[in-house]
Structure 1
């Protein structure tokens, strides 16, 4: 494995900003943690991850993208040919597999707004075969200089822990960028106030229970003084009655006053749900997936429709960005695509009805359909025919017969090779 730092003989730049200074220079970034974790100015990735909806959003997006199959194609004119995956998508990093590699990239986008990779190995044609994702917190890019000069957004200067990196070895995928800037906006900074509110509510609950919570009530005798021993006996009897949900019977000299939680304290759960809903809006995630609430007609939609909306609203922006940037690392005319349909799982009857229609119209052959069900291809190439069945030579199939096949799940599609009769 080549060492980019050793190859080019880079050294730490004397005028390179320190790690703390670099963190303050990012577009949309906020200052790093201070004593008050719940302060908006103190919100960081590490602090935000303590909030369940923020962690859940990253987990949901990263694992969803990493679970999608990747396919590579070559486009020549109007024809598209499927290719074997390039080495970059087979073992892309020194640690972990392709799904671990994709999770690192997506988590960098979700929490930092930038995924920054360093090309570590290339093939004999200089196409990348291994890329390591860097921690965006340790990456600095100079992109504010005059247009056309070194250090501008047209010719940015990259450095990692004070060591300058060549632009040709940098793979940068931003979340959202402002005009004239290279470094992407930070989602954590975008909802810093929302996160700080959730952290404050979470801290309030933690302090509440650490302090012993709140007593359920007060039992007082208005006529006589009770010593400590008598108070202990009475307290045990009251606690036993409360725990067993039995009524409390006492004389005329006793007063029981229950202690209720204030309205502000009772709104804790509502505050947490509101924060989760707002965080979900940042990422386009259905709120109920990370602890929020969804109202309206969405509540009555089917699971399949909700999954489709999740792919379109939340996953698609990340998928398109990854596809475009990673395809740019391949030879001209080649590109990759994520199979987002793999996340939509329908019942077996509907799934096979779709397979049948795909085969009838010639969209897929039998071997491709069998591959979707993890089954081996038919022997002797019998499953390679794409000819639409209704118009096959010698195939006497009428429209009523096709309709009856679709309506009767007991009837199976019979493939008739071209030029024969069945």
Structure 2
């Protein structure tokens, strides 16, 4: 097993390398820039000193520096003891003699000068330099130091971004695994190539996944065992209730027998739905085959016609022919049957339920539209929850029909929505969207 890389150590190494490279580049660039800027100025200083070292030196014999700027010239002025002008290197620089030795700022020839004055026994010497030249030198030095840093900012972003991308790339894969993981997934999250700091977190998440899977498995096993165990006594109870109802002579007892029989039927239906839900929760994929969902939906409508007639509900169908899809035919039959039965359950006598199937660009869309009371506010977010009933006062229903329908839709990759009608009328619309069968 390879040793896990440390996120902290990796980031420290990259940042240290970046700072080292940036320091070397900055120092080298600043040195080269200032060297080139100062070379010409220093050469000019050498020339000025040579020209003013003594009398009788011809300017024509003094070649200029390669990049010498006339503004870089010093203004050297010499006075004798009596105060008479002896020498002036720049005729246009009329800078007055300062009253004392030392540095000072002075005006001359319409410019500001930085002046150094020296008094001696034989006279006075005053050397002046333009202030704008000094400001230019300072600005160039600052630019020489700042420019490499400014150029290294985008490089720093690039290097740090690359380091973070390489270090955190595995986190993107981990986030993708979590986002695409199903609720029933049992495989642990991979630990390969994870930073050392994140391994305890992911190992803790894997432990939580194992505990959740164990709890879900125990819950499903209990549900299946309980439903399977209840089937036999409920079936026996239904038989005995039928025998008692057939032998009961007193007509006054008939309503009690009918209520008892209805309760037994609902209990039997609930047990069957619990068993079906337990089977649908298994991770095994449904058996897929190609079949005509239009014919299947017509059969479901026909199966529920007696219930609709008994309740006085107009059950109609408008189904497009030849709607071929892939899937488990029995599971999809249960899906449609639950939706139609749900619509009939919550529709009052004299109501209407319309079942339609039409072609769409993506495949087929089956809709069950009723004219019942509709869903109460806030119920649309809970209709697929197990044992949730939008109208608890209704005598029929167990609250599992839509939960089973959603589970079947998820197993087949169908879209399923149940919401109030949007045409202003009262009622609920249930829509199932199915992909077309590839040829």
Higher relative contact order (CA 8 A, sep 6+): 1
Larger radius of gyration: 2
More helix by share: 2
